[in-house]
Amino acid sequence: MCGRTDRMIFRSMNSFTNSALGLGAAGGSGGTAPAHSVDAKPILSIASYNAAETEGSVPLSIPHIMAFKPVSYQMVGWPHTIGDMRELARFADHNFEAEIAGLFASGAQFEPVGYRNAFTHDEKELLEVVRDKVRAFTAGWFGRRVAPITNILVQMGPFRMVNQLGATFGVDKPTVFEPGPGAGYLGAFLTEAGHRYASYDVAQSYYLWQSCLMQATGGSDFAELAVLEAAERNAALAKARIAHIPWWHYVSMLHGTDYRCDIVYSNSNLSEMSRVSLRMLLHTSKTMLQDSPVGAFTFFSKGMPAQTPHEQIDEEFRIFGYHKVFDAPFSAYVLDESRADRIREAFANGILDYDPSGRGGAMEANQVSAVARDEAPLDTALTQWYHGWNPPFSEG
């Protein structure tokens, strides 16, 4: 499952509301969607991304460029580039997987992302807020309103894990760095919940989609580093609560960075990286994590073994001085071995619900993800036909 120019750092652009976009009702709750403002246009365009990537690649060596190619996407034909911003509507969700129908079964669990089919009131509200913002900007920027169903649901497991891991060490709203965030919904949850968050990606298409999502959820707290000159990026990264890092700038962080985080979450992609890019990630992450009381590198799945065998991953962590905590309910490594027992104890009974209000709840996926048929993701009909999925349409 897929877990896989405008040179202003923080801006408030001319905006319009959902009603101006003709959004009306929220498909998820059957009521009226809250009005979410949407900027007049995305900060990052195809032309500005392509120009920045070309310029940023000029000083890089051939091994650098080879290390940051989206090889796994190329192998399976995944669309890693686009030529028209309207194409980004297809990246709002990914449902075309054999496991999708099973996620909606009562009591369902899906270990590669820590998913279980039970959601609290707080989780439902978070899902609705992010889904409504996606409705708004997909309609306004891409000409087609899309409400994500599955990809957004399965990111609740990692979100729960991050908050529980922070709480284990007394860190409220831990800072997270996420390489290769895919559709980006973990970052959207963290953004809405008040965390500090940064990510990078090597695929042009996903990077553009992520930028739109981060702009819509992060607002004035968001910094898109791809539209900045090289000399401006480090200052922007230090200042921003929500930051998007282009891969060519991430490469420069190998030789030192002031960016710090509490948790690195790199899911379903470690084995998809070349050995060079994997080692760069492990090296850079050590620097980012070194000052944190948490200091954990985490994931649920190693991803498709396209470039680095699964059995080699543990050894790579060992080479770079990480200590393995466990492989379940997720995989975790720490720099300070003395923290491992605290993490094992904290997760002895699994990953806890996100329930800051204390209202509890055990609503199922069909109850928290109903959408209107006319806002269904682009792959819905094909998934219904091919995989026998019965989507949670609000019209029944």
Secondary structure (DSSP) of 239-254: H-SEEEEEHHHHHHGG
Question: Quick one: how many helices (H) and strands (E) in the chain?
Answer: 17, 12
The reply to whether 357 falls in a domain is yes
Distance CA 9, CA 43 (A): 9
Distance CA 228, CA 223 (A): 9
Measured CA angle at 75 (ends 74, 77), to 5 deg: 60
Distance CA 154, CA 59 (A): 39
State the total domains in the chain: 1
Q: Please, how many CA atoms are within 13 Å of residue 162, restricted to the half-sphere of its CB? A: 30
The tokens describing 4, both together, are 């896989």
Residue 130: burial class (beta carbons within 10 Å; 0-12, 13-18, 19+): buried
What is the residue-level pLDDT of the chain in tens, covering all 396 positions? Answer: 444 422 222 333 333 233 222 223 333 343 334 446 677 899 999 999 999 999 999 999 999 999 999 999 999 999 999 999 999 999 999 999 999 999 999 999 988 888 999 999 999 999 999 999 999 999 999 999 999 999 999 999 999 999 999 999 999 999 999 999 999 999 999 999 999 999 999 999 999 999 999 999 999 999 999 999 999 999 999 999 999 999 999 999 999 999 999 999 999 999 999 999 999 999 999 999 999 999 999 999 999 888 999 999 999 999 999 999 999 999 999 999 999 999 999 999 999 999 999 999 899 999 999 999 999 999 999 999 999 999 999 986
The reply to whether 18 falls in a domain is no
Query: For position 360, which CATH number holds?
Result: 3.40.50.150
State the pLDDT at residue 18. Answer: 33
State the pLDDT at residue 25. Answer: 32
Distance CA 95, CA 100 (A): 6
The reply to whether 27 falls in a domain is no
Residue 338 CA to its chain's centroid (Å): 29
Tokens 């449902």 locate to 95
State the pLDDT at residue 12. Answer: 31
Distance CA 381, CA 1 (A): 18
270: enclosing H helix or E strand: none
The reply to whether 147 falls in a domain is yes
The reply to whether 139 falls in a domain is yes
Distance CA 284, CA 118 (A): 36
The reply to whether 6 falls in a domain is no
Distance CA 317, CA 266 (A): 13
Give, to the nearest 10 degrees, the angle between helix 121-142 and helix 156-168.
130
The reply to whether 15 falls in a domain is no
With CA atoms as reference, report the closest residue to 126 among 353, 391, 351: 353
Distance CA 20, CA 43 (A): 20
> Would you give the DSSP letter of residue 173?
S
Find out whether the peptide bond into 305 is cis, omega within 30 degrees of 0.
Answer: no
State the pLDDT at residue 24. Answer: 30
Return the SS3 of 206: helix
Q: Supply the range of the domain harboring residue 302.
A: 35-91+113-373
Phi, psi of 258 (to 5 degrees): -90, -5
State the pLDDT at residue 37. Answer: 66
Beta bridge partners of 28: none
Give, to the nearest 10 degrees, the angle between helix 185-192 and helix 204-218.
20
Distance CA 292, CA 288 (A): 8
Tokens 């904290």 locate to 346
Phi, psi of 240 (to 5 degrees): -75, 145
Beta bridge partners of 221: none
The reply to whether 273 falls in a domain is yes
pTM of the model: 0.90
Residue 173 CA to its chain's centroid (Å): 16
Tokens 């004035």 locate to 220
